[in-house]
């Protein structure tokens, strides 16, 4: 059930209407049932995995809470018990994640060194959203372990925290301290809030089907046959993918945040205009914010962060980026992608950008730096987008500023090509205004004719200008595969 489908529109309308009709006491149950229906629409077998993760982390939290509050036992005993509980939760959850997402990758890698060591399981298919909800559930376990939050004793509301459908498949990865308490609040229908949430959802769908999916047609045509394209075409395809990836993923986040806002819940902002970053360090504070915050809190800081020697800090950063790359996909391509971005942060930031300079930059300088960062980022994304290492090397080898192929032979005619670039330019201008402090509230305060022009034009553009049909190989969101 894709966000950009009629099925989801109907599903969401029904859930929203029921949400505001029934008593607040039972809304958690409605949303939990809706979330399980939503997730099972991908595959009913997925439900078993998310239920296992939910039960394991729920009872881990209960047991950890008992250890935290049991002052009769010596602290050493309590700590030993807590370590065992956390270890069990980590082993079970990461074990499931490893088996379904990484086993075949590990088997292939091992067998390439020592043939016929591990069997390859052909029937093992990727589980949609497993990386996201596993990290979200584990953050709860570790927060209870560290005494940052109390354990949730209502198993239904905790199950909703793990499976809340707006952000279940591709985030944002929520902290229990942020999302769980909101399920206890009584929310009423508020026209201003609902209008704002719906507009954000429509904006997200617009970005997805009108821009990202059109760009994806061109990108797919080039990357499916990398050996058959050369010159400026793979350069354009790689730049297009950088735009597609951002628009696609941020559009999902927009829809998720808007959908939750209609219910009266606030999700974490996942993107803050990354292509206006002033350095690579700044980029990673603006891109996939919830995941990077997770790695910062639960991996980088426990490794020592930057508290030790600079050489140790470098090692910690490299470890985080390599694991982040592997989190994105079971392929050495993603590990290499992570390593490249670690190099950008550790080396290029020092060479190209004055990371110690705290003076705010003008918008024009942000635009320039953001463009430079986007170009380097695009080069790293060749490994992110290519199907395998060989294809990535082929793409790199074919990059040049020659024009030996027709630009409009890759799924987009001249009119569509220029139209999509024009729409992206409009989105970029919108983000420039957002960087200056403008918000959706400025739209709601605009003259009536301006407001309703936006309200009407966005849905019409989705219907008439979206990428549909046989040319679109896949309309799912890119991050669903992770």
Q: How far is CA 216 from CA 171, 187, 224, 474, in A?
A: 21, 39, 11, 9
- pLDDT at position 95: 95
The distance between the two most distant Cα atoms of the chain, rounded to a whole number of Å, is 78
Place of tokens 């209008």: 195
- pLDDT at position 469: 67
- pLDDT at position 476: 73
> For residue 174, what is the enclosing H or E element?
none
Asked if 72 and 204 sit in the same domain, the reply is no
- pLDDT at position 168: 92
Active site residue 154: no
Question: Do residues 269 and 289 lie in contact, with contact meaning Cβ atoms separated by under 8 Å?
Answer: yes
Asked, as a colleague might, if the bond just before 480 is cis with ω within 30 of 0, I would say no
Of 156, 186, 216, which one is at a domain's C-terminal end? 186
Which residues are CB-contacts of 391 (< 8 A; sequence separation ≥ 6)?
223, 226
pTM of the full structure: 0.92
Token pair listed for 436: 């200056």
DSSP annotation of 114 reads S
Structural domain boundaries enclosing 264: 192-278+361-481
Asked if 24 and 45 sit in the same domain, the reply is yes
Domain annotation covers residue 401: yes
Asked if 369 and 421 sit in the same domain, the reply is yes
Helix locations, 306-439, DSSP H = 310-328, 332-343, 349-352, 363-385, 389-398, 414-435
Asked if 167 and 237 sit in the same domain, the reply is no
Residue 44's φ and ψ, nearest 5 degrees, are -65, -25
Asked if 138 and 225 sit in the same domain, the reply is no
DSSP annotation of 269 reads P
Query: In total, how many domains does the chain have?
Result: 2
- pLDDT at position 5: 86
Question: Do residues 247 and 207 lie in contact, with contact meaning Cβ atoms separated by under 8 Å?
Answer: yes
Which residues are CB-contacts of 251 (< 8 A; sequence separation ≥ 6)?
203, 204, 205, 206, 207, 208, 212, 477
| Cα four-point dihedral sign 377, 379, 383, 387 | positive
Question: Do residues 93 and 57 lie in contact, with contact meaning Cβ atoms separated by under 8 Å?
Answer: yes
Domain annotation covers residue 102: yes
Which residues are CB-contacts of 10 (< 8 A; sequence separation ≥ 6)?
none
Asked if 180 and 230 sit in the same domain, the reply is no
Of 186, 221, 248, which one is at a domain's C-terminal end? 186
| Cα four-point dihedral sign 456, 459, 461, 463 | negative
Q: What is the CA radius of gyration of the chain?
A: 23
- pLDDT at position 196: 93
> For residue 66, what is the enclosing H or E element?
helix 46-69
Question: Do residues 457 and 213 lie in contact, with contact meaning Cβ atoms separated by under 8 Å?
Answer: no
Asked if 233 and 210 sit in the same domain, the reply is yes
Measured CA to CA, the distance from residue 403 to residue 132 in angstroms comes to: 41
Asked if 214 and 143 sit in the same domain, the reply is no
Q: What is the pLDDT along the chain (482 residues), one digit of tens a residue?
A: 888 888 999 999 999 999 999 999 999 999 999 999 999 998 888 899 999 999 999 999 999 988 877 777 787 888 888 999 999 999 999 999 999 999 988 998 898 898 888 888 877 777 888 999 999 999 999 999 999 999 999 999 999 999 999 999 887 999 999 999 999 998 999 999 999 999 999 999 999 999 999 999 999 999 998 988 888 999 999 999 999 999 999 999 999 999 999 999 999 999 999 999 999 999 999 999 999 999 999 999 999 988 888 889 999 999 999 999 999 988 999 999 999 999 999 999 888 886 555 677 888 988 999 999 999 999 999 999 999 999 999 999 999 888 767 888 888 888 989 999 999 999 999 999 998 888 877 788 888 888 888 889 889 989 888 877 655 656 677 777 66
Domain annotation covers residue 312: no
> 27-40 and 46-69 are packed helices; what angle lies between their axes, rounded to 10 degrees?
140
Residues paired with residue 231 on neighbouring β-strands, in sequence order: 399
């Amino acid at each position: 059930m894709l966000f950009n489908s009629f099925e989801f529109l109907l599903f969401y309308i029904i859930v929203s209407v029921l949400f505001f009709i029934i008593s607040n006491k039972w809304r958690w149950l409605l949303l939990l049932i809706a979330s399980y229906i939503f997730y099972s629409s991908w595959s009913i077998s997925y439900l078993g995995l998310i239920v296992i993760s939910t039960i394991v982390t729920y009872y881990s939290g209960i047991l950890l809470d008992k250890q935290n509050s049991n002052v009769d036992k010596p602290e050493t005993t309590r700590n030993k018990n807590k370590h065992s509980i956390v270890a069990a939760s980590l082993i079970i959850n990461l074990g499931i994640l490893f088996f379904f997402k990484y086993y075949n990758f590990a088997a292939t890698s091992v067998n390439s060194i020592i043939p016929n060591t591990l069997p390859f399981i052909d029937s093992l298919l990727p589980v949609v959203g497993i990386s996201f909800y596993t990290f979200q559930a584990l953050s709860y376990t570790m927060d209870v372990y560290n005494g940052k939050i109390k354990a949730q004793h209502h198993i239904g509301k905790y199950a909703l925290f793990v499976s809340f459908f707006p952000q279940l498949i591709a985030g944002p990865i929520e902290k229990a301290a942020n999302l769980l308490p909101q399920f206890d609040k009584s929310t009423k229908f508020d026209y201003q809030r609902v209008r704002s949430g719906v507009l954000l959802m429509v904006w997200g769908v617009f970005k997805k089907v009108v821009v990202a999916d059109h760009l994806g047609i061109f990108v797919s045509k080039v990357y499916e046959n990398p050996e058959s394209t050369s010159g400026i075409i793979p350069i354009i395809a790689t730049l297009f993918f950088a735009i597609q990836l951002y628009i696609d993923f941020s559009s999902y986040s927009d829809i998720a945040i808007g959908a939750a806002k209609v219910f009266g819940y606030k999700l974490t902002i996942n993107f803050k205009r990354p292509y206006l970053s002033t350095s690579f360090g700044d980029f990673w504070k603006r891109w996939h914010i919830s995941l990077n915050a997770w790695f910062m809190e639960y991996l980088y800081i426990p490794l020592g962060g930057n508290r030790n020697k600079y050489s140790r800090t470098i090692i910690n950063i490299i470890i985080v980026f390599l694991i982040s790359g592997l989190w994105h996909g079971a392929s050495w391509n993603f590990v290499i992608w992570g390593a490249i971005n670690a190099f950008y942060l550790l080396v290029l930031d020092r060479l190209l950008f004055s990371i110690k300079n705290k003076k705010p930059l003008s918008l024009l300088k942000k635009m320039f730096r953001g463009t430079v960062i986007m170009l380097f980022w695009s080069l790293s994304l060749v490994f992110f987008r290519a199907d395998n290492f060989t294809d990535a090397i082929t793409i790199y080898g074919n990059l040049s500023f020659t024009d030996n192929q027709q630009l409009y032979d890759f799924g987009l005619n001249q009119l569509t090509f220029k139209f999509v670039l024009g729409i992206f330019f409009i989105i970029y201008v919108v983000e420039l205004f957002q960087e200056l402090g403008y918000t959706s509230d400025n739209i709601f305060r605009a003259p009536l004719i301006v407001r309703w022009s936006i309200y009407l034009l966005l849905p019409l553009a989705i219907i008439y200008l979206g990428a549909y049909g046989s040319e679109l190989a896949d309309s799912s969101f890119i991050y669903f595969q992770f």
